Structure 1
Amino acid sequence: MARVVREPPTRPALRAKYDRKQQELVDAAARLFAQQGYSATSMADLVAATGMTAGGIYHYIDGKEALLVRICDELLDPLLERASTLVGEFDGPPDAELRALVRAWVEHVEGHLDHMVVFLQERRVLEGDPQWKRVRDARKRFERLLDDVLARCADAGLLAVEDRSIALRALLGAVNHTPQWYRRGGRLDAAAIAVGYCDLVLRAG
């Protein structure tokens, strides 16, 4: 018999409780997938981590793959919205625009460390799934937005490297690797990390 995710309640108090439980489930899945991998995480692991029954989990989301998609959505969609708004409203020189964008990006990663680890480890799992196209498109849109800002920096002679694609890949690699070494409460906060990453690709002023 096919499992059917329960429709969210319409009453505000019940809907708030439903959304909270669903978010707790997604956060628990992100932690588990980051720690032990998507394939190695069983429904029994999710039951143990959340205190829900297996049937209870299916009230909130349609299985492990749907959890993985939701984790990717929570990582990319808010980042893309924040970045699009920042770039669309920014009024200043392109190097300052790049610094503001990278700071927002690193701050978002800092708040979604487990999500970021899962995305980097598991994104190929969903390449053949129709749902993956939305996730892939969001990632590409963010990369194009970042590249557009870098293009403005290049036009103004502000990049430290002649090939803009190198600057793009350097930033993508640096920020994507951040969860591998970053520790909350450590010597560097998100703002300081963003400054360091931008200093790698911008000419010294």
Structure 2
Amino acid sequence: MNTEKKVKGNLDSQLSDEELVHFLQEGGPQRYFSVLADRYHDYVLKKCKGYVKDADEAADLSQEVFIKVFMQLNTFRSEAKFKTWLYTIVYHTCVDYLRKKKRNTHQVISDKLSSELEEVIEAEEVDQESLMLALEQLLEQITPEEKLLLLLKYKEKQSLQTIVNTLHISESAAKMRLMRAKEKINRLYEKQLRSN
């Protein structure tokens, strides 16, 4: 019996995320969800900590994320990687939490994006303070979906095709939004430099 359990456990851990989700969607045993949760526990906790900084809050949020994942599993389509889909749930859960707590969501997202967006700035040298101010202004002018698009592209380093599949938008829409955000941040950055 123990040997059989061990073999089953090893087989479960060899399955891809997408295979585990497919089995769950087909009504497979709940142990598949445990395998997924074990795989991503540390990842989700780390991402949540990036938003709230407090270990207890992050642990509570990661529990909430896994509940949402479990409840929304039937909406996952294999067009995107499971990890990217999971990240969008983490993002929305944490941003909603920050909003309810009246915390500065823009500041948290700015902090997450600031170093990665240096590559978007076309100036020779980047002044961190001006970049942060420009980024905060940009984040106030774009939609939550566009913020997620920037995080997926620059923070999570996802491919354009993965972003398209995750957000269910066309490739041209994703390219256009990224280009607009890039142009906007450069305009705002130049404006900040001039006003300093």
**TM-score grouping bracket, smaller chain normalisation:** 0.3 to 0.5
Larger relative contact order, structure 1 or 2 (CA cutoff 8 Å, min sep 6): 1
Write 1 or 2 for the structure with the bigger share of helix.
2
